[in-house]
Structure 1
Amino acid sequence: MNPYLSIVAASRNDNHGGDLTSRMEVFLRGLYHQLNQYDLPTEIIIVEWNPPADRPRLSAILPKPPANGLVTLRIITVPNEVHTQYKTATHLPLFQMIAKNVGIRRASAPFVLCTNIDLLFSNKLIEFLATKKLQKGAYYRCNRCDIPKEIDYSADVPFLLKFARKNILQRLGKNRFYPNFNGQSKWWYHNLVTLGIVWGIALIKRLAESRMTTTIESADTWACGDFTLMHRDDWEKINGYFELDAYSIHIDSLALFAALGQGIRQKILAPELCTFHISHQSGWELQDPMQKIKFDIQMPMLDWNTAKAACEHMLREQVVLPINRLDWGLKNRELEDTIITT
């Protein structure tokens, strides 16, 4: 069965953030359950980057898909010999965005979703994807809801989703009705009075500011590495994620502005069409200020002011910065590509 959707994520068996194996298992069990429930032909691609030599490979530890053929699991391996060619290889064991490019370039479905391996997807989100109404020329964003790490990993998927809905710690992402206004209070999503007030403020801002300013303010860059979905041709149009020899933060935002600059419009999904992110000790959003300072000092990464200037440049000039080579995503490199079956 030809897949309608390719879901791409990157990982390695290094226990990143603690309980990584459990989070990956929940991620896959959730998708297997929901994709079959809503009858959505999908391939899940996990790019195993620089697998540790002293640990089992992902193919040995991850749950296998159901035998009905509706969902397939592919593991594409980027070996250590490739990883060590990057200057910051000793600081970073995994180049997340380059790994996702590997998956994008090898995806077989028309639509490609780049995401992460510590998420659950709301039923309404999968139900929407299963309608097969995605459009070429648009990129899709959804809210990310952080939930506690103290979940029962052994529980069945319906229980986990119920727990997630009732234990949201914070919501990251913009509201589709007023994306140029950074409002995150839950009351602004569910209370009609405050929704009207905020919508009015956002309208006044749009009328008072230039179209360019409104577009910049409306770009939903919050946690965009967790859910960015577009047609495979549109990923090709922006040359995927920028392949920077650095930590992944802000690189996902650059991709959104590259898309906007190429006329690929933004579609923010309704709040209930969201992802649930299982918190972990290395998650940047939930770190306290001291942890963030230490993290920023240690990691080779892109400064936000630099990233913001690059984003605005690509939007105004309608260009994609010439960072990636023609063979981005290691296109010309033969890599181990394993289909995991039951």
Structure 2
Amino acid sequence: MLKFGVSKRGIISLGAVLTAFTLLFLYYITSDSLHSSNNLMDDDGNLMYGSDSSTKQINDNSNSNTPAKEQPKCLKDTATRDFIRPTKPHWEQCLEPGLQPSYYLSIVIVTRMDDYAGGQHHRFQNFIDSAFLLAEHTKEKIELLIVEWNPPEDRRRVVDAFRFRRSDYLTYRIITVPKKIHDYLPNRGGSPLHEFEGKNVGIRYARGEFVVCTNQDDIWSHNFHNAIKSRAFKKNVIYLQYQDPHNIHDNFPATIVDLPAFPDDTTLYNACRLEDQDWGHYKLPDPITVNNVHHSPGFILSVADQAGDFTMAHRDTWKIPRGYREAGGIAWMDIEFICTAAWTFDIPVVYSGKSFACHQHHQNIWEGRKDQHTDNKDINMGEIERKEKTYINEENKWALQQIDVWTMGLECLEFNGGLCW
């Protein structure tokens, strides 16, 4: 008979080895699961896709619902130009606005990294930080939707140039309209950026119940903080605000602020304080009668002045006039949009004399670029008011709906911000 002699020390050693292998196996399957669900990167650490998993699904070509994947925890190298390589279903998922809003507010701006008007970069960072403070103070779900239009080949992309802080209430999305699409579209005046076509793209894909179109030189006032906190806005209304003209360079009024580069949060938050608040009980004025009569309270050129810095409506209300009229880079379409909304579609306009935003002071370089204005000065607003003429986009031919944006390289990136150490 064979006998196997095993010492006590041998049994202990064998047990230790088995325990070690068990722990290694558990660690492997756990980390692999976390990696596959949270860090959708390729072997080089490049982002494959990012999206919020809690609210969105898409319909792929086989008409089956593909659940959203969790977004990556961090990006290895935001400077890599081709780091967005999603599958088409994941790309559609990133763009999908959803049948129902998944945020209370979408903030839409259009930009490109060409240092517009000088000192753009610190003003844009202040704008991003102001959106972060809005979300943190109001505790409302907000998305900052940046349309990066025709990015210059020799500059960093927006995601690689700015700080995006993480908030439980704020989500960032960057939709990039590439040069190929920019060159395909009409371009009167040769402008490298189409502000209103870009804002229409944001309106089309916005997930917020309400969508505010603004510019990157603005920061949010305590009035807007309180209005958001109070949920004061309603559907089927266009909201405008008073804001002082931007060509003031001395003795700034309250709505024009001269902030230093990269102020701290307290300085930034209080830069557009404007007045004391009854927090949680913000009241908006009644709708006005918008008209074309000079010196009347509802004179269109007064109430819609600076409307490019603040025009807000429910996302369904924006789509009734089919967004801003697209005419190939043309300027001054913000005022025309208000004319069309109020007179062609009879949408009520609420004009707040208490400003929702302040404008950061800068040199007015753009005013001198007359070749890029090609404005709509030949539009007769009286004819719109009398309903004799209408100026609207063709149905399904605005916000790039007429373009195969997948084939032409439209990009989409969604993330929650923060740093990965």
TM exceeds 0.5? Answer: yes
Q: 1:137 to 1:157 in 2, by over 3 A?
A: same
Task: Look up the match of 2:261.
Answer: 153
Q: Which amino acid aligns with 2:310?
A: F
Q: 1:158 to 1:319 in 2, by over 3 A?
A: farther
> Structure 1 residue 330 and structure 2 residue 400: aligned?
yes
Candidates 111, 119, 130, aligned match of 2:218: 119
Matched residue count: 291
CA distance in 2, matches of 1:232, 1:319: 25
**Residues 191-230 of structure 1: pairs in structure 2 closer than 5 A:** 216-217=299-300, 220-230=303-313
Mean Cα deviation higher: 81-90 or 260-269: 81-90
CA distance in 2, matches of 1:16, 1:231: 29
Task: Look up the match of 1:202.
Answer: none
Task: Look up the match of 1:321.
Answer: 391
State the superposition RMSD in angstroms.
Answer: 3.0
Q: Quick check: 2:288–2:298 contact (8 Å CA) kept in 1? A: no
Task: Look up the match of 1:257.
Answer: 339
Task: Look up the match of 2:372.
Answer: 299
Q: 1:178 to 1:108 in 2, by over 3 A?
A: closer
Q: Quick check: 2:186–2:327 contact (8 Å CA) kept in 1? A: no
CA distance in 2, matches of 1:138, 1:318: 23
Task: Look up the match of 1:236.
Answer: 319
Q: Deviations over 1:108-150 (max 9, x none)?
A: 1221111011111111212112222311111111122455675
User: Mind listing any 5+ residue stretches in structure 1 that lack a counterpart?
Assistant: 167-175, 182-205, 285-291
Q: Quick check: 1:18–1:281 contact (8 Å CA) kept in 2? A: yes
**Residues 59-98 of structure 1: pairs in structure 2 closer than 5 A:** 59-68=159-168, 70-88=169-187, 91-98=190-197
SS of residue matched to 2:227: helix
TM-score by length of 1: 0.76
Task: Look up the match of 1:190.
Answer: none
The one of the two structures with greater contact order (alpha-carbon pairs below 8 A, sep at least 6) is 1
CA distance in 2, matches of 1:283, 1:161: 27
Q: Deviations over 1:82-120 (max 9, x none)?
A: 111234377211000000000000011221111011111
> Structure 1 residue 11 and structure 2 residue 11: aligned?
no
User: Could you say which structure has the higher helix fraction?
Assistant: 1
SS of residue matched to 1:243: coil
CA distance in 2, matches of 1:140, 1:317: 22
Task: Look up the match of 2:58.
Answer: none
Task: Look up the match of 1:46.
Answer: 146
CA distance in 2, matches of 1:150, 1:14: 21
> Structure 1 residue 35 and structure 2 residue 135: aligned?
yes
Q: Which amino acid aligns with 1:159?
A: T
SS of residue matched to 1:45: strand
TM-score by length of 2: 0.62
Q: Which amino acid aligns with 2:157?
A: R
User: Mind listing any 5+ residue stretches in structure 2 that lack a counterpart?
Assistant: 1-53, 55-101, 247-251, 275-284
SS of residue matched to 2:219: strand
Q: Quick check: 1:216–1:312 contact (8 Å CA) kept in 2? A: no
CA distance in 1, matches of 2:206, 2:218: 20
CA distance in 2, matches of 1:318, 1:338: 43
